[in-house]
């Protein structure tokens, strides 16, 4: 096994895989069924462990399996689907899932508001996330077709989305409330993007008209940058271990 400790790799996304919780020493063999759309013939694919991720806060690390990588790629609406993704795509998914697991492990440290209202709000957020995903694919039918092709069940998708919502709530709690954008930053961005278009014959919004949009863009950019820095620090912190079990 190739052991990577405090590795610096990049790839940020809030798409989240379903994670299996077993000790690394246990050999996990699952069966994922891929139904090809061109025929009624079912294809059987053997699953395997790919990596384990831990920040040292729990005795049992989280595992990433080959199915997790396939599901990650399949749930990216703008990605061209492949029955047999190549090494570059699989490693892209692996880097994303490593980062997301480190964030999820941090989120687990926070106390959970265990009330009926909190649970309902969480489930509402999961449903909204699923609706948004279906919309990104163009329809619920297209999403379900993609799920069938990679052997992803409705319950497994819900588990993935629950992890995504948990991550996003944690990141909002940690970063969004503390991001401040100055008037100068908004004016500078306006001048950079719009002022030069004033004599181009195009309709150019005023600073007041573009203010809210520019402010949101700057907020999102700052949060993305801070999350990148945060995940890099998680990879470097004592106790973090990413163990590659089966290279892809």
* pLDDT at residue 28, rounded to an integer: 36
The answer to whether residue 217 sits within a structural domain is no
Residue in the structure block whose two tokens are 């588990």? 159
Asked whether 241 and 235 are in contact (CB, 8 A), the reply is no
The answer to whether residue 205 sits within a structural domain is no
* pLDDT at residue 151, rounded to an integer: 95
Residue in the structure block whose two tokens are 């001048």? 191
The answer to whether residue 187 sits within a structural domain is no
* pLDDT at residue 228, rounded to an integer: 94
* pLDDT at residue 26, rounded to an integer: 34
Secondary structure of 129-172 as H, E, C letters = HHHHHHHHHCCHHHHHHHHHHCCCCHHHHHHHHHHHHHHHHHHH
The answer to whether residue 67 sits within a structural domain is yes
- What tens-digit pLDDT sequence spans the chain (248 residues)? 433 433 333 334 333 333 333 333 333 333 333 333 333 333 344 589 999 999 988 889 999 999 999 999 999 999 999 989 999 999 999 999 999 999 999 999 888 878 999 999 999 999 999 999 999 999 999 999 999 999 999 999 999 999 999 999 999 999 988 899 999 999 999 999 887 777 777 788 999 999 999 999 999 999 999 999 999 999 999 999 999 999 99
* pLDDT at residue 75, rounded to an integer: 97
* pLDDT at residue 9, rounded to an integer: 32
Domain containing 18 equals 2-177+238-244
Question: Can you tell me the distance from the alpha carbon of 125 to that of 169, in angstroms, rounded to the nearest whole number?
Answer: 10
Question: Can you tell me the distance from the alpha carbon of 55 to that of 230, in angstroms, rounded to the nearest whole number?
Answer: 13
* Counted domains in the chain: 1
Asked whether 234 and 106 are in contact (CB, 8 A), the reply is yes
The answer to whether residue 194 sits within a structural domain is no
The answer to whether residue 231 sits within a structural domain is no
The answer to whether residue 50 sits within a structural domain is yes
Q: Beta 62-65 vs 49-54: how paired, if at all?
A: antiparallel
Report the candidate in 43, 84, 77, 45 with the shortest Cα–Cα distance to residue 146.
Answer: 77
The answer to whether residue 208 sits within a structural domain is no
Question: Can you tell me the distance from the alpha carbon of 70 to that of 75, in angstroms, rounded to the nearest whole number?
Answer: 9
Q: In the beta sheet, which residues pair with residue 80?
A: none
């Amino acid at each position: 096994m190739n052991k990577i400790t405090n590795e610096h790799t990049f790839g940020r996304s809030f798409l989240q895989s379903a994670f299996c919780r077993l000790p690394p020493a246990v050999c996990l063999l699952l069966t994922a069924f891929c139904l090809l759309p061109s025929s009624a013939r079912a294809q059987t694919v053997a699953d395997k462990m790919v990596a384990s991720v831990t920040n040292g806060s729990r005795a049992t690390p989280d595992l990433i399996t080959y199915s997790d990588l396939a599901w990650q790629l399949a749930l990216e609406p703008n990605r061209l689907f492949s029955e047999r993704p190549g090494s570059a795509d699989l490693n892209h998914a692996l880097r994303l899932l490593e980062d997301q697991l480190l964030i999820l492990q941090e989120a687990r440290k926070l106390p959970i508001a265990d009330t009926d209202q909190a649970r309902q709000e969480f489930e509402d957020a999961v449903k909204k996330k699923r609706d948004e995903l279906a919309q990104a694919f163009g329809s619920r039918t297209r999403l379900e077709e993609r799920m069938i092709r990679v052997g992803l069940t409705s319950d497994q998708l819900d588990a993935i989305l629950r992890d995504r919502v948990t991550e996003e709530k944690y990141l909002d709690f940690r970063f969004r409330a503390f991001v401040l954008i100055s008037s100068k930053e908004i004016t500078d961005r306006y001048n950079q993007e719009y002022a030069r278009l004033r004599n181009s014959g195009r309709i150019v919004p005023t600073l007041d008209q573009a203010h809210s949009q520019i402010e949101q863009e700057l907020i999102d950019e700052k949060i993305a940058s801070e999350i990148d820095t945060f995940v890099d620090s998680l990879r470097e912190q004592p106790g973090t271990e990413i163990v590659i079990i089966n290279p892809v």
